[in-house]
Amino acid sequence: MTGRRIVPYTCENDEEKEGRRRAMRSKNPQKKFKKMVAIEPTKLLPEWDEKLKNYAEETVFYKDIPNDSEEIIRRIGDADCVMLSFTSKIEKEVLEACKQIRYIGMCCSLYAPESANVDILFANEQGITVKGVRDYGDEGVSEYVISELARLLHGFGDVMWKGEPMELTDLNIGIVGMGAVGSLVTQTLNFFGANTFYYSRTRKPEIEEDYDCTYLPLEQLLPKVEILITCLNKNVVVLHQEEFELFGNGKILMNVSISPSHEIEALAKWLEAPGNHAFSDTPAGLGEAVVGLENAYVGTRSAGLTARAKNRLAKKVIDNIEEFFEAEK
């Protein structure tokens, strides 16, 4: 680890923004929606749900998940503000039926309209503002990566990767996707002395310099690394049968995306080979077809949804509402 640089990671840097908002709130009465409806559990801590309710004259927060669009339309009713997490979908037919909606607040990650559980493009055409959140659960994800890799490498659980305990030091580890999560995972692995390589749609010179991380095209990265960690947006698939063949056997795949980064059938076939292991913190990250295989390790809760992450998420959800009211002035 000699000579490796440790660069502090900052998840949020919004003190000045928050100070400005407090000053504005002290000068101006708080605006409110006429009616706010959370069509499903927000996944926020109860005290933050209560704070959300301060932004509407009337509020209804449902505690279960609606079965279909018809039920969602019924729940929304005459609300001008709709809140939801990542479970339900607000599609075009819902937006067409609920024309009084002004604002949709997503209490979950939003990276691109194409991967969202709200039809954002149609909503925007109707003059509806849709806001989501980014970069609130990254720390928990990086801790999950180290925890699970250490257990398998050292044999702290029922299975050990090799015949002898292994360290992360000097292992070749590849990261696919160099957004906020990929960057933090890279930094963490750098601290533990791993040799890191990455593939991303765009080069990240600052990552390469700060964390001694080498860029490689995907077809060169796959055979080079012993462990592959995919950190991609929802519904982005990069690993097909051809990529698994390039990756080879006796290796570890870890997906920390909220949906599979791979073709599920291709992963199932790859897992048939001895010495291959796959990880995800939730069943949705690997696919139900491989859950239950002895070399597929699947968690039961999202690594990024810790108590601290829920606080960061809630603050950003409320920031989004206040930004919406500020823009209306």
Q: What is the DSSP letter of 179?
A: S
Paired tokens of 252: 């570890």
**Strand, helix or coil for residue 228:** strand
| Average pLDDT rounded to a whole number, residues 290-298 | 94
pLDDT value at residue 5: 45
* pTM metric for this prediction: 0.77
| Average pLDDT rounded to a whole number, residues 262-284 | 96
User: Looking up tokens 């503002």, which residue turns up?
Assistant: 129
pLDDT value at residue 115: 79
CA distance to 9, 173, 293, per residue, from 168 (Å) = 20, 9, 25
pLDDT value at residue 303: 86
Q: What is the C-alpha separation between 103 and 317, in angstroms, rounded? A: 12
What ranges make up the beta strands (E) of the chain? 33-38, 56-61, 81-84, 103-109, 129-133, 172-176, 195-199, 214-215, 227-230, 252-255, 277-280, 296-298
Q: What is the DSSP letter of 31?
A: P
Amino acid in the structure at residue 199 = Y
Q: What is the C-alpha separation between 195 and 171, in angstroms, rounded? A: 6
Q: What is the C-alpha separation between 264 and 270, in angstroms, rounded? A: 10
User: Looking up tokens 């969202």, which residue turns up?
Assistant: 116
**Strand, helix or coil for residue 118:** strand
**Strand, helix or coil for residue 239:** strand
**Strand, helix or coil for residue 262:** strand
Cα-based angle 316, 321, 327 (whole degrees, multiple of 5):
120
> What does residue 307 show for φ and ψ, rounded to 5 degrees?
-60, -45
Q: 262 pLDDT band (50/70/90 cuts)?
A: very high
What ranges make up the beta strands (E) of 39-159? 56-61, 81-84, 103-109, 129-133
What helix, strand, coil percent values describe the chain, rounded to 5?
40, 20, 45
Q: 6 pLDDT band (50/70/90 cuts)?
A: very low
Q: Which residue has the higher pLDDT, 112 or 46?
A: 46
Burial class (CB in 10 A: 0-12, 13-18, 19+), 225: buried
Half-sphere exposure of 22 (CA within 13 A, CB side): 6
Paired tokens of 237: 């698939």
Task: List, in sequence order, every residue forming a beta bridge with 129; answer none if it has no partner.
Answer: 103
Q: What is the C-alpha separation between 76 and 82, in angstroms, rounded? A: 7
| Integer-rounded Cα radius of gyration of the chain | 22
Q: 84 pLDDT band (50/70/90 cuts)?
A: very high
pLDDT over 90, % of the chain: 75
User: Looking up tokens 């299975």, which residue turns up?
Assistant: 159
Largest CA distance in the chain: 67
Q: 147 pLDDT band (50/70/90 cuts)?
A: very high
CA distance to 79, 192, 247, 257, per residue, from 180 (Å) = 34, 19, 24, 12
